Chain A
Amino acid sequence: MRAMVYRGPYRVRVEEKDMPKIEHPNDAIVRVTRAAICGSDLHLYHGIMTDLRVGHTFGHEFIGIVEQVGSSVQNLKRGDKVMVPFNIYCGSCFFCARGLWSNCSNVNPNATAVGAIYGYSHTTGGYDGGQAEYVRVPFADVGPMIIPDDIEDEDALMLTDACSTGYFGAQLADIEQGDTVVVFGAGPVGLFAAQSSWLMGAGRVIVVDHIDYRLDKARTFAHAETYNFVEYDDIVVEMKKTTDNVGADRVIDAVGAEADGSLLQHATGAKLKLQGGSPIALNWAIDSARKGGTVSVMGVYGPVPSAIKFGDAVNKGLTLRMNQAPVKRQWPRLFEHIRNGYLKPSDIITHRIPLDEIAEGYHMFSSKLDNCIKTVVIPPSAA
């Protein structure tokens, strides 16, 4: 089969790879019909994630057709069209039994600090991902869901991570009616978080980034006020000024490890990998929140320490909330919002490319060329 493979930092190619096999009675093999490149795939692409092996296939956002099922699978059959959450989880361990589906302890030998994710290095379990023609899907009775007839494929694809994660991030921010919400990052997760903040009753939603076309999207797609931090000497002061110098009630970090805006932090965190990512956005979030406010962290960071302003968070009495999103928990409500016309997740897609052009797709997304926000990848068998 054709599959994208990692060849080293900033380098990927498409190769012929062995077909995935059923390795456990509750496995399924899914023929991928659409995959997407996620902002967090860039942490892999740039070589920031640890234990990222050459030959690894990325891709944790995908939908497809069930091709084969293991002997214990009850809920799926060959031919079902499914959406697959980015989390791999057993549904029965201590954490899964409590609804912490992104924190399963039965699926990742390589680390106890993180659950398992498709195509996201061996630190998250060593599973090849969905930027390929076929993918192994463990716990087929738990993770995948048959796509409802009235949900369009590309909307379902966005729900496998980006939209659900943004929606989850807004929930973790504890938004109450009339709150001012600041979202750092106008990538897909930030845009979905901004849009979701309104559903929870925000009175103002402000999005901060430095990419003009993404800020345009934040205004049109997410109905938000926007700030380009490059235009201000100090974006934290601007956030204070616009909130009567009190600070924002709720702040969402939707940037994570590769934040820009401070050369020292960016160089040591994102480029030299001396930190578990560049914590600029998280520190701005801590500084911009009001005392007693909430910071929701949806940005992804690596496992080594980062220079985070924890003292300010303590002194301000902030609530910091975070997790990988247990995306399937969000789906029933998000289906409702799509059916009601409140959300149209696929409107965020800017590019659709064949799998064989994925190297250029990664370069485009990484370098933010051609007004790229979200790229969908189409395998040859689904073209």
Chain B
Amino acid sequence: MPVYSVSNVEDLRICVVMVGLPARGKSLIATKIVRYLSWLSIKAKCFNVGTYRRLQTIHPSASFFEPDNTEGEKLRREAAVLATKDMIRWFEEENGVVGILDATNSTVERRNWILQICREEGLEPMFVESWCDDDEIIMHNIIEVKTRSPDYEGQDPEQSVRDFRERIRNYEKVYQTLDDESLTYCKIINVGAQVIINRIQTYMESRIVYFLTNLHIRPRAIWLSRHGESMFNLSGQIGGDSDLSPRGRMYAEQLPELVRQSVGDAPLTVWTSTLKRTQQTASKLPYPKLAWKALDELDSGVCDGMTYEEIEEQYPEDFKARDDNKYEYRYPGGESYRDLVIRLEPIIMQLERQENILIVTHQAVLRCIYAYFMNVSQDQSPWMEVPLHTLIKLTPRAYGTEVTRIKANIPAVSTFRQKGSSAKHDATPQTTAELHLSL
């Protein structure tokens, strides 16, 4: 998908205004939008009003949020002003494209105040409301997210839930849902059971909505693994479509048990690329499988099948150019990491909508997928080390993604090449010592 070019849309600045009662997953949605846009090289940032409010009141009680608590109202308003000011500064000084104002913004009055600011600053306002009356989802959110919130740090969880429900009731007293047909908005009802989209003005806004409609907020996890060690890994060649090495086949044998320990009895779907080494790696897994062309390794064009030394020898300029900007570098006749991100966009969208998935794929592809979930920048992601024979579990949570690594105890060569080196693939078994950027 060509979205990277959107960042060049001249002068377009969008202010996404979150709307919704507490425990409706607003912050989760806001951080996800930021992560998705950043992954596509579009400058985005979230401004959470609660963070600004916490600077003044560390552990507020529910009564702080009562509509007629004038002191509370004043402080909350000041926090909103601070967040908005910072956002405007960010647009100006850092050429931001999409800024997100994350707060309840629960009244028409508050929203009109924001609209006024948007008009003055030349920002396109776009409201995103998460509306929910399903008690189960709300309770889940409260327990999962809110009782772990900094507001309740070190407090009795049960007391916290009670206090939080009280806080929500205070907001409910004044809450007004979005229904102004002249505004640009997207209203998500009960986690996507119904979605209302009103007056989308620009392609960029449609792109944000498109992402939102792909999201689901049910708990699940994603497992990632590279294929087992391949014959090409042993000979230090890149690309190709080689078979697994004997050690790679051992990994394939051991993978079902490794997966079972981590996944348990939960349902799982396995995705592989169309290349032999990923399919052989997944061959023993007792789950439904799907082979995606989009998960094939980064195409190294004329260098396919060569070793790094050969590349350095035959294409010295290319070798250097790749080190200088690995994200943008495109092998002659092949792909760059940026190309790969474009090709992976449908995969990411599909991942956002799926339940438990295990992806068995290749180093560069895993780097891009991992970068998406872990918010790794583009100058770092192509340099991350992804060891062979290791299962990685990603658990998306509201305040970030949790990573667990499960190593199969099977030695493999290291295929990691540090910047500026053409060192042969390390033939000795990898140590557990991890580099700064390794997964």
Say if A and B assemble together.
Answer: no
Q: Chain B residues in contact with chain A, CB under 8 A?
A: none
Q: Chain A residues in contact with chain B, CB under 8 A?
A: none
